[in-house]
A and B are shown apart, each in its own frame.
Chain A
């Protein structure tokens, strides 16, 4: 712990040195460390900090450079620019799968990865360390006496019964902009036709479209929205103001995103990366795991309804240009209703 020190947080100016756009770069650990682990990640620093701290505590003389990017910028940095990172962490399972499938990830096995459940590892390249559900977030104050919807069907009925109340006050991801939104939407369509019905109902109510979960939650909090659909539950539960809104895991099916890590094939210090992955896996899986997501979000309550997105080449299907174009045009006609 004594070497651990949160040092500088740099806000990068656009266009600095690299073409990909980093949102934030932070350094952890002693200044004069002999080895450095470079992590590129889509997760906020605050979300990942506990994991970094515990790793640095066990690995002396090590520092970590943590770069926060969007999932598409992560692709750009690794695929197009071949930037050297030791670990890539992302919530965009489809893009991570494509990285691994295209041979841009190293194979890695250890005792820790061997103990992982089947759904958490793919081809010894991709390792899942969180389970984060897509939730319905509703404003408690805005709902008043209305019953909270437990499933998509409930939500559809509610929206249909009170069109005037909800008009312009329902929100969801703009799947054209957000990779995670696209992933949730496509997986929803795989699970049930009800997604399309719900999207049409929301479209009829002039749904607002958002780039990210946090904006949606903010909008619910401010009263702009009464209902936000497919919000990343882990973000909602980790907010300090979480009592102001209700987080609902739909009982018909709950799509669960797995945050994954991989070691890029051009990682400069892949041994250190292996150590970090072992730490990440041991800490987030197993009996006395200290999961990154809030334990209040208990997934085991409704195990049968959990729809864990399976890591694998199936995810490549919706990345197919023809497929994506077809899906987006269908989605647009449902939500925009022009």
Chain B
């Protein structure tokens, strides 16, 4: 079986795209927070500057037709109250400079809007200027008194640096949370796929039932294809099993007829050459009809495995029955067959299949044991479950074949002169594995072999 070529990972791709979008969002959050904060900081600075300028403007009085300004102490000291700032101001009547810093630029209001603001460089440092104005009546007529107040930005810059750090923290926190969520989301997204994978791979080799568990709509086409594929596979398997069974069945009857005829002909013939040829013919016919029988058995086993029944089986009774049934065959071959040790055990399973498996094991043991050999069958309860052991004193197996023997049509190297199909161990193995158990083949140290079936407890 070839391993599929892995190209990329859905989970990784999902994770990466989630992380990429989270990173973009985190950066956006950082800039949004910062720009909002910048705006707020700017506005609050503008408000303080306006308050300061207005308090100067309010202190302007007309006395004797001239404008006097009683600069309030707080007008300038308030600008320095939170952080140390350089502060500048200028008072002008229209374009005539009255007091303060003559060179201080003035924020030009557009239209009637007042106060007006301006960012500029003054005396070597960045400043923010607010300008307010008021109409005054003087000797020379009505004119605007304009007050500009400016402040350096060191406090604002410090605040912005702090906010920048905070928004950096918010962005990073946002990203970290997103990483966590991305991991969770990608895992939960992949989960149905994982579930499907494990439910399919957990199945036994013969389980070709359609997947019935609910799946997300995106996976429905895949599962539909999978189900239809399995249905076709099952149909095709069944068809070939049917075909084999049908063929075996059809072959067996004519073979029996041919064998009878050959026996009769052998008995009637006096020619030793003819007799020998007929004897070999009978042997070949036996071989064929045995194979046909076992193929039928195998087809039956396969069918029953697909619809495995689970009823309670008294394993000790089953062992004894099977041994008794086999006894005529063993006596015919002069092989001692005994159930030596039978403990009481009850398992759940298909009794016909289990009996068939045991029968195949005993049949093998009898068939491959020489005359006078002994076969002991034991049923014991071990820690792992109920264990049926078939011990014989026959030739045993060749060690290098132990793994291959249960494969279909595999036969041991030392069995060439004995009629056999190579299906017996295969059937036994399939049955025991369908019941969740295992089949073990070992050679006994003193000669002979031991084949055991282990049914797990529960």
Contact = CB atoms under 8 A, between A and B. Distances in A.
Given A321-B99, A323-B70, A123 B84 contact: yes
Most chain B C-beta atoms within 10 Å of own C-beta, residue among A124, A313, A316: A313
B60 to A, nearest CB: 10
B447 interface: no
A101 B86 contact: yes
Contacts of B74: 314
Contacts of B255: none
Interface in A79-131: 100-103, 121-124
B123 A103 contact: yes
Given A103-B123, A123-B154, A313 B69 contact: no
Given A123-B154, A322-B98, A317 B84 contact: no
B193 to A, nearest CB: 61
A320 B70 CA distance: 9
A313 B71 contact: no
B99 A314 contact: no
Interface in B96-138: 98-100, 123-125
Interface in A260-319: 310, 312-314, 316-318
Interface residues of B, number: 25
A19 B76 CA distance: 33
Contacts of A312: 76-77, 80, 84
Given A190-B73, A322-B71, A326-B70, A316 B87 contact: yes
Decide if the interface of chain B is mainly helix, strand, loop or mixed.
Answer: mixed
A31 B124 CA distance: 38
Contacts of A310: 77
B72 interface: yes
Given A123-B154, A312-B77, A326 B68 contact: yes
A318 B69 CA distance: 12
Given A101-B86, A103-B123, A103-B125, A323 B76 contact: no
Contacts of A323: 69-71, 99
B263 interface: no
B87 A101 contact: yes
A313 B79 contact: yes
Interface in A122-179: 122-124
Contacts of B76: 312-314, 316-317
Contacts of B71: 317, 320, 322-323
Given A317-B75, A322-B68, A101 B84 contact: no
Nearest to B67: A322
A302 B87 CA distance: 33
B33 to A, nearest CB: 29
Counting chain A CB atoms within 10 Å of each CB, the highest count among B68, B80, B100 belongs to B80
Contacts of B77: 310, 312-314, 317
A190 B80 CA distance: 17
Given A103-B123, A310-B77, A314-B76, A320 B87 contact: no
16 contacts: A101-B87, A101-B88, A102-B123, A103-B123, A103-B124, A123-B84, A123-B85, A123-B154, A310-B77, A313-B76, A314-B74, A317-B73, A317-B77, A320-B69, A322-B69, A323-B69
